[in-house]
Amino acid sequence: MSPTRDEQHWMYRNMVTSRRFEETIAKIYFEGKTPVFNMANGPIPGEMHLSDGQEPVAVGVCAHLTPEDVVTATHRPHHQAIAKGVDLDKMAAEIFGKTTGLSGGRGGHMHIFDPDVNFACSGIIAQGMGPAVGAALSRKMQGKPGVAVAFLGEGAVNQGAWHEAMNLAAVWKLPFVCVIEDNAWGISVAKSTATSIANNADRAAAYGIPGTRIEGNDPYAIYEAAGAAIARARAGEGPSLIEVETYRLAGHFMGDAEGYRPEGEKDALFEKDPIPKMRAKLLADGVASEAELDAIEAESAARVEAAIKFARESADPAPEDALTAVFAA
Amino acid sequence: MTKSNERKLTIARSMAEAVAQEMRVDPSVFVMGEDIGPLGGVYGNTRGLIEEFGAERIRDTPISETAFIGAAVGAAQDGMRPVVELMFVDFFGVCFDAIYNLMAKNIYFSGGNLKVPMVLMTSTGGGYSDGGQHSQCVYGTFAHLPGMKVVAPSNAYDAKGLMTAAMRDDSPVVYMYHKGLQGMGWLGTEAGATVHVPEESYTVEIGKAKVVRQGKDVTIVSLGMGVHNALKAAKTLEGQGVSAEVVDLVSLVPLDRETIRASVAKTGRLIVVDEDYMSYGVSGEIIASVTEHDISVLKAAPKRVAFPDVPIPFARVMEQYCLPNPDKIVAAWDEMKAA
């Protein structure tokens, strides 16, 4: 299964939008945080986990999803949110902690919730699994269309929650796909130090479900594998596991000195940046012209600029709004 | 004296009845947990449900509390109304992230755009030598963390009405039922918990305490099993010419501070009875609710009868030494009077 021309344009557009978004956030993040870095300062306080380099996973999977499908994401959620169609203005405003944000500033960047497109997060490693499996159960019980996808990092696969939920999804044969973004690092701990096997897709055998590993951070291969897994889920044939080799071009969080990376690793990763690679492929395959790609890039940049402007110009929440929305209205 | 039309049910049966009645009218309600299917729940509170509703809606789960409580959160956010069972509240240790980081926070994290209509029912309490990992109450632990409503019925009438209210609530409700009130013979049931329960579906308001005995000399506040100890103590005190008022909290979150304050304003004295650990818990919160509001109503320093700050011991004599009981409540009154 290969992506159509339109799908390829959509994938490229969302990869570029995500990258522009992260680059812009990165720039703004340091406002007020120099010369002394203090996470609490500036227009975007708190931790910031950027997804630069991991865009192929988000678009390769979400190309197969509609708003009614469910996605749970992690502490590093922006690329997935963008690909899932989360409202970019409201997401930016949430990241700035503004009253116009998705949750009016109650959540922040690790807690992006947009029920309109069935997108949710947990900042706790592997804890998106249970809710995604539960949403899949809900669809199965209600006979309602839709599948659930949980995105996780490779470190999450060593959490008990992951194993419990994989087993539950498999034993109940739920319309669920687990997508592992293997960026090789759990903050500073290498996958090879933390994980007893090289290929987490092998773990699928423990639950009697299909498992696939995609090398090379290739959006086309991800698209194909995700398409098969999601089609299987939609057909009621049960869950699948996909692990994708991807690259974290940024630190774990903004301010991470990345001293744990071997010499030269970052440079080598930038050589493999998936965005210029996809651009070159689109041109080589004759799927898009320079002009079309330039237009996509310009539109993405404008889209991000508008979202950031919306966020910057939005009002802070009333402080006492902190005391509301603890319970359902 | 037996009244005509009286229909005494155990808490276990009243819980199951509430769930069955709601499931008949609301297809989004389903139950999942360990041994809640053909076994009917270790404490009988899902008995008969699988026969009527089948294994799709009455789901036995693997022993994976993190997964199935997390799944309940996802299902609740997706339009279902799951009732999940955590067999012993003590097991919260293996799944608390799903409870307090997901279930309790996702409404807030969504700015109120999501509903999380689920019930986490879980057994509490000791007194039958089950040791320190199967006998706790940890009421205060749950009530302390924002985002969860917490209820704890002391009798079958409230048990049914609270369960119905909990299933209809759009926020997560932790439903803490005491094993010693459940009506399971093998747990040595407190007879006072088995009361008349109307056949029809009804709700008991979450967040409303009840004055279950009127009095004028001292207010005894408690919940769950403690209410029965308080009522027994009140009877003893009555023999001594002391008129004790007993407040059944019914809910810990929201906490009905008004009812507590009104009672203490009337009696001027307060004893709190709590089977949970003494420190940093429910008993301290109840006293603070009164003292920070209007300390002048108190004629004596408040007293607590609570579990000492030790893990729950196994040996019968040791556990009974630690547990609240009517004699300790009467002794608390004696000390209060002597002071």
CATH number of the domain to which B295 belongs:
3.40.50.920
Give me the DSSP letters along A65-125: --TTSEEEE-SS-HHHHHHHT--HHHHHHHHTT-TTSTTTTSS-TT---BGGGTEEE-SST
What pLDDT, on the 0 to 100 scale, is given for residue B5?
A: 78
Query: Considering the domain boundaries, does residue B249 fall inside one?
Result: yes
Give the residue among B314, B21, B6 at the shortest CA–CA distance from B164. B21
Q: In 3-state terms, chain A is what percent helix, strand and coil (to 5)?
A: 50, 10, 40
**pLDDT tens-digit profile of B232-246?**
999 999 999 999 999
Can you give the CATH number for the domain in which B83 is found?
3.40.50.970
Residue A242: Cβ within 10 Å count = 27
What pLDDT, on the 0 to 100 scale, is given for residue B4?
A: 67
Between CA B197 and CA A165 the distance in angstroms is 39
Same domain, yes or no: B232 and B159 = no
Residue ranges making up the domain that contains B298? 210-338
Whether A203 has a pLDDT exceeding 80, the answer reads yes
Can you give the CATH number for the domain in which A136 is found?
3.40.50.970
Query: Considering the domain boundaries, does residue B201 fall inside one?
Result: no
Pair of tokens at residue A208 = 């009697």
Residue ranges making up the domain that contains A22? 5-314
Between CA B180 and CA B216 the distance in angstroms is 29
For B74, the closest of A111, A132, A327 (CB atoms) is A132
Report CB contact under 8 Å: B110, A72.
no
Contacts A–B by Cβ distance under 8 A: 157
Point out the domain boundary residue: B196, B225, B240: B196
Same domain, yes or no: B221 and B327 = yes
Omega before A35 within 30 of 0, i.e. cis: yes
Q: Which residue has the tokens 């999942």?
A: B32
Same domain, yes or no: B73 and B178 = yes
What pLDDT, on the 0 to 100 scale, is given for residue B189?
A: 82
Query: Considering the domain boundaries, does residue B278 fall inside one?
Result: yes
**Separation in Å, CA A138 to CA A117, A173, B120:** 16, 12, 17
Q: Known catalytic residue: B228? A: no
Whether A131 has a pLDDT exceeding 90, the answer reads yes
Structurally, chain A folds into a number of domains equal to 1
Contact residues on chain A for B71, CB-CB shorter than 8 A: 130-131, 133-134, 137, 165, 168
Query: Considering the domain boundaries, does residue A205 fall inside one?
Result: yes
Query: Considering the domain boundaries, does residue B102 fall inside one?
Result: yes
Query: Considering the domain boundaries, does residue A295 fall inside one?
Result: yes
What pLDDT, on the 0 to 100 scale, is given for residue B338?
A: 87
Point out the domain boundary residue: B166, B196, B226: B196
Query: Considering the domain boundaries, does residue A132 fall inside one?
Result: yes
Straight-line distance from the first to the last Cα atom of chain A, in angstroms, rounded to the nearest whole number: 45
Same domain, yes or no: B164 and B215 = no
Beta bridge partners of B76: none
Query: Considering the domain boundaries, does residue A325 fall inside one?
Result: no
Contact residues on chain A for B170, CB-CB shorter than 8 A: 327-329
Q: Is A103 within 8 Å of chain B by CB?
A: yes
Query: Considering the domain boundaries, does residue B159 fall inside one?
Result: yes
Identify the three-state secondary structure at position B171: coil
Q: Which residue of B has its CA nearest to A72?
A: B74
What pLDDT, on the 0 to 100 scale, is given for residue B216?
A: 98
Query: Considering the domain boundaries, does residue A306 fall inside one?
Result: yes
Query: Considering the domain boundaries, does residue A329 fall inside one?
Result: no
Structurally, chain B folds into a number of domains equal to 2
Same domain, yes or no: B171 and B283 = no
Query: Considering the domain boundaries, does residue B152 fall inside one?
Result: yes
Q: Which residue of B has its CA nearest to A123?
A: B101
Same domain, yes or no: B191 and B319 = no
Query: Considering the domain boundaries, does residue B24 fall inside one?
Result: yes
Same domain, yes or no: B23 and B154 = yes
Q: Known catalytic residue: B178? A: no
CA distance B152 to chain A (A): 19
Query: Considering the domain boundaries, does residue A322 fall inside one?
Result: no
Percent above pLDDT 70 for chain A: 100
Give the residue among A162, A106, A134 at the shortest CA–CA distance from B118. A134
Report CB contact under 8 Å: B113, A102.
yes
Alpha helices of A172-240 — where are they, by DSSP H? 191-194, 219-234
Classify B80 in phi/psi space as left (phi over 0), alpha (psi -120 to 50) or beta: beta
What ipTM was assigned to the predicted interfaces of this complex?
0.96
Tell which A residues from 109 to 148 touch B, by Cβ distance under 8 Å.
111, 113, 115, 118, 120-122, 124, 127, 129-139, 141-142, 148
Query: Considering the domain boundaries, does residue A213 fall inside one?
Result: yes
The 10 Å CB-count burial string (b at 16+, else e) for A168-188 is bbbebebbbbbbbbbbbbbee
Whether A103 has a pLDDT exceeding 90, the answer reads yes
Same domain, yes or no: B184 and B79 = yes
**pLDDT tens-digit profile of A28-64?**
999 999 899 999 999 999 999 999 999 999 999 999 9
**pLDDT tens-digit profile of B125-166?**
999 999 999 999 999 999 999 999 999 999 999 999 999 999
Percent above pLDDT 90 for chain A: 99
Same domain, yes or no: B291 and B155 = no
Tell which B residues from 151 to 190 touch A, by Cβ distance under 8 Å.
169-171
Same domain, yes or no: B47 and B175 = yes
Same domain, yes or no: B168 and B218 = no
Between CA A14 and CA A12 the distance in angstroms is 5
Point out the domain boundary residue: B149, B173, B196: B196
Report CB contact under 8 Å: A130, B113.
no
Query: Considering the domain boundaries, does residue B324 fall inside one?
Result: yes
In the predicted model, residues of chain B with pLDDT beneath 70 are 1-4
What pLDDT, on the 0 to 100 scale, is given for residue B188?
A: 74
Same domain, yes or no: B80 and B190 = yes
What pLDDT, on the 0 to 100 scale, is given for residue B265?
A: 98
